[in-house]
């Protein structure tokens, strides 16, 4: 399989045509080997427009949705980013000149993507997803669906920092951009998206009599 040709086809057919005009995002997605961020037996599907398994129920977000999130985030060279359950996004941001840490809750994910992240210069951290490592982040990005946004995520941003993710409480989720100001977080809805929910960030159902 010609992965270079597959990357170009992905950018042309899934990214450019969906109003993602950032040349930096185009170049980064053309350069990052997406096949290195999915389960070895799913490499053949790395450049499809579907979610692709990584490990431990983690999946790659479709390139269309991730590129739209990153464009809304206005990621800038030299910024510091935290990619929570988002290893491919971490690699793309690193190619765009950001200093990136990828956080996962399961070692099984790093067993698959760890070498690729190291090659991109991305630091890694193993910690519960509800508790972001570090603080003062310029950008936080997540590739999984979030049913309940942890307060700690917003607290980990610097003033002026941004956060992009998909909030999903039903069949269809909403991608959102959060910006941190001195009075707290402001939210702007972006587009419909339905990534697999992150089980760790999904509240257990409650029952009342």
Residue 140 counted as domain residue:
yes
Instruction: Report the C-alpha gap between 81 and 73 in whole angstroms.
Output: 11
What CATH number did the domain enclosing 39 receive? 3.40.50.150
**What residues make up the domain containing 78?**
3-201
pLDDT in tens, 74-113: 999 999 999 999 999 999 999 999 999 999 999 999 999 9
Tell me how many domains the chain contains.
1
The DSSP line for 127-141 is: --TTS-SSS-EEEEE
Residue 73 counted as domain residue:
yes
Residue 208 counted as domain residue:
no
Residue 16 CA: distances (Å) to CA of 26, 48, 86, 118:
8, 15, 21, 28
pLDDT in tens, 117-166: 999 999 999 999 999 999 999 999 999 999 989 999 999 999 999 999 99
Residue 206 counted as domain residue:
no
Instruction: Report the C-alpha gap between 97 and 74 in whole angstroms.
Output: 13
Residue 59 counted as domain residue:
yes
Supply the pTM of this predicted model. 0.93
Residue 89 counted as domain residue:
yes
Mean predicted lDDT score pLDDT of the chain: 94
DSSP state for residue 197 in the 8-state scheme: B
Task: Tell me which residue of 170, 96, 84, 158 sits closest to 126, measured CA to CA.
Answer: 84
Instruction: Report the C-alpha gap between 64 and 166 in whole angstroms.
Output: 13
Residue 209 counted as domain residue:
no
Residue 182 counted as domain residue:
yes
């Amino acid at each position: 399989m010609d992965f270079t040709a597959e990357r170009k086809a992905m950018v042309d057919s899934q990214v450019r045509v969906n109003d993602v005009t950032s040349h930096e995002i185009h170049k980064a997605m053309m350069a990052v080997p997406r096949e290195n961020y999915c389960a070895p037996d799913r490499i053949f599907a790395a450049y499809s427009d579907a979610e692709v398994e990584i490990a431990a129920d983690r999946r790659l977000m479709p390139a269309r949705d991730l590129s739209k999130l990153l464009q809304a985030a206005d990621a800038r060279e030299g910024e510091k980013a935290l990619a929570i359950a988002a290893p491919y996004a971490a690699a793309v941001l690193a190619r765009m000149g950001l200093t990136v840490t990828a956080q996962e809750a399961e070692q099984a994910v790093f067993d698959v993507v760890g070498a690729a992240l190291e090659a991109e210069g991305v630091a890694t951290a193993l910690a519960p997803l509800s508790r972001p490592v570090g603080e003062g982040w310029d950008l936080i990005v997540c590739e999984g669906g979030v049913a309940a946004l942890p307060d700690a995520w917003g607290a980990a941003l610097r003033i002026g920092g941004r956060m992009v993710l998909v909030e999903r409480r039903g069949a269809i989720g909403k991608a959102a951009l959060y910006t941190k100001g001195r009075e707290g977080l402001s939210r702007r809805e972006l587009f419909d998206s339905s990534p697999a929910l992150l089980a760790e960030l999904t509240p257990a159902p409650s029952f009342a009599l």
